[in-house]
Structure 1
Amino acid sequence: MDKYDVDLAGAEWRTSRKSQNNGGCVEYAQVGAFVAIRDSRNPDREPLIFDANEWDCFLDGAAKGEFPAPAV
């Protein structure tokens, strides 16, 4: 299956345990061999879909601080 053909109809969306209750959360869902992420404030927008390698690279980069928070 291609990541662009993932059916999200039955996806079980979860929010990180580290999220605050301010509505600014990222939700994720495991869908077969893929991980989907979406903005909890805009759940109807198309989510990002990662294959296993992309997801591992994203998590590694996040752990290394490669994605700093934007300046306010």
Structure 2
Amino acid sequence: MCLDELHWRKASHSTNNGACIEAASIAATIAVRDSKIATGHDYPTLTIPTPAWSAFLTNIAAGRFDL
């Protein structure tokens, strides 16, 4: 599957300054990319298993990464 064909979503707290990430679901995996360089076919994409992504979001919501 071409990554450009995925339904990419920006973080809900993103602004329009171009400094955000986008995520898309592929089967049991979440693909993550930088919105500033998300054009063309050679942009870097990080893929994360869905359970690990869910745990990451849970930890964010719990404030475990707050400074």
The structure in which a higher percent of residues are helix is 2
CA distance in 2, matches of 1:41, 1:57: 26
Alignment of 1:41-52 (within 5 A): 41-43=36-38, 44-52=42-50
Q: What's the C-alpha RMSD, in Å, of the aligned pairs?
A: 2.1
Q: Could you tell me which of 11, 19, 28 is aligned with 1:16? A: 11
Choose the corresponding residue for 1:35, options 25, 30, 33. Answer: 30
Residue 51 of structure 2 corresponds to residue 53 of structure 1: yes
Q: Name the CA distance, whole Å, in 2 between partners of 1:10 and 1:18.
A: 24
CA contact (8 A) 1:35 1:50 kept: yes
Query: How many pairs align?
Result: 64
Q: CA deviation at 1:18?
A: 2.1
| Deviating more after overlay: 10-19 vs 51-60 | 10-19
- Normalising by structure 1, we get a TM-score of 0.69
Q: Would you say the 8 A contact 1:61–1:67 is kept in 2? A: yes
TM-score, length-scaled by structure 2 = 0.73
Percent identity, aligned pairs only? 36
Q: CA deviation at 1:59?
A: 0.7
